[in-house]
Amino acid sequence: MSGRGPLAGVRVLELPNIGPIQFAGMVLSDLGAEVLRVDRVADVTGETFVSPYAVLDRGRRSVAVDLKHERGPETVLRLVEAADVLIEGMRPGVAERLGVGPESCRARNPGLVYGRMTGWGQDGPLAHDPGHDINYIALAGVLHHIGPAGGPPVPPINLLGDFGGGGLLLALGVVSALLERERSGVGQVVDTAMVDGAALLMSIFYGLDAMGFWSEDRGTNLLDGGAHFYGAYETSDGKWVSIASYEPKFYAELVRVLELDLPLDQQMDKEQWPALKERLAAIFRTRTRDEWVEFFDGHEVCFAPVLTMKEAQAHPHNVARDVFVDVEGAPHPAAAPRFDRTPGAISRSPVAPGADSDSALTDWGFGADEVAELRADGAIA
């Protein structure tokens, strides 16, 4: 492990799951924590390394444990004794039934921070229902407000539920609980629900709605594409550019450089927005995206081209800041945020389930004979 980053010295167990838990584990690892994935024996293929494109699996070692084997839960509890954090993403009650719930784990290690990730939360009428990102952000009042005027709600890929309101909020909760443990000496359970996190991300809009400053009609508001000065416009080559000339000084510059001859004091006149959007759309269709990049260079109008993921990797700004790094030929977003004294880093390439069972268990307190016995019994692979 790299030993770098502000979380260096923190040990994290990541129980098997997908998506949000993987993302939280990756973030904690990037920030310096030693994260050990506890994968399923059933997922062991005999391979050691997997594709370096498996970005969410980077930075961690893996031990494969059969939690349904009579010795599986005890193996995890032994690991808990040497851990600071455990994160899991099972449905409510599943970890308890497997023998690795909060009570069992904290009986072994009272200082353990036990991070839980679900869609609906540990309680409530929907707690045991299945679901995915789109369902959670729908119930949180998020999805309704994303999409064009007169059109259907548009899923913003699975960023807001799984990764923003889920994995990232879990990582924040874990770090907060670790900080509190420095004062109390005792761990606690962090209940992270994606519906909670998605609602939290909507805080400003719930405030605007309560004040009567937000319409429930999609695509008609200031920040949802309704305003002519805040949105995306298609260019002559079928690509797109983004404009965010919200503040009066930026709007004045946009009006000036595009020679729009508009009264600046009517910027917030919502009745004019649809017609002005059509007018700007016609203007932006007169040049290619790259021609608009050149046109706006040096003008403070809050402009950026809309890039694909491949284009983003090659953009000079992202290249200069090393926003993307190469991991065995695969492009990975770099560790973030950045620290001046203890920078985070990607400590290793993704590995296959069970690739490090021997070395990881030994490093976490198991004897070589114990590891061999567990393998022979089928509790690990």
Residue 50's pLDDT is what?
83
* Whether residue 303 is found in the same domain as residue 365: no
* Whether residue 187 is found in the same domain as residue 57: yes
How do residues 128-147 score in pLDDT, each as one tens digit? 999 999 999 999 999 999 99
Q: Residue 147: give its domain's CATH number.
A: 3.40.50.10540
- The whole domain housing 287 covers 230-318
Residue 2's pLDDT is what?
44
* Whether residue 123 is found in the same domain as residue 243: no
* Whether residue 336 is found in the same domain as residue 296: no
Domain contains 113:
yes
* Whether residue 193 is found in the same domain as residue 238: no
Residue 3, pLDDT above cutoff 70: no
* Whether residue 266 is found in the same domain as residue 340: no
Residue 18's pLDDT is what?
80
Domain contains 373:
yes
For all residues of the chain together, what is the average pLDDT? 96
* Whether residue 20 is found in the same domain as residue 162: yes
Residue 45's pLDDT is what?
85
CB neighbours of residue 251 within 10 Å? 24
CA dist 191 → 17, 167, 176 (Å):
16, 12, 13
The strand pairing partners of 86, in sequence order, are: 13, 114
How do residues 19-50 score in pLDDT, each as one tens digit? 899 999 999 999 999 999 999 999 998 877 78
Catalytic residue among 69, 132, 299, 315: 132
**Pairwise pLDDT comparison (51 vs 286), residue with the higher score:** 286
Share of the chain above pLDDT 70, in %: 99
Distance in angstroms (rounded) separating the CA atoms of residues 371 and 237 = 61
Q: Is the dihedral of CA 160, 161, 165, 170 positive or negative?
A: negative
Q: Report, as an integer, the average pLDDT of 283-292.
A: 98
* Whether residue 29 is found in the same domain as residue 138: yes
Instruction: Output phi, psi for 174, to 5 deg.
Output: -65, -50
Residue 304, pLDDT above cutoff 90: yes
* Whether residue 293 is found in the same domain as residue 350: no
Residue 1's pLDDT is what?
39
Q: Report, as an integer, the average pLDDT of 148-175.
A: 97
Among 318, 339, 358, the domain boundary falls at: 318
Amino acid letter for position 341: R
Q: Is 132 a catalytic residue?
A: yes
Catalytic residue among 30, 39, 66, 162: 162
Structure-token pair, residue 110: 């009272």
* Whether residue 256 is found in the same domain as residue 162: no
Nearest Cα residue to 347 out of 2, 28, 51: 2
* Whether residue 337 is found in the same domain as residue 287: no
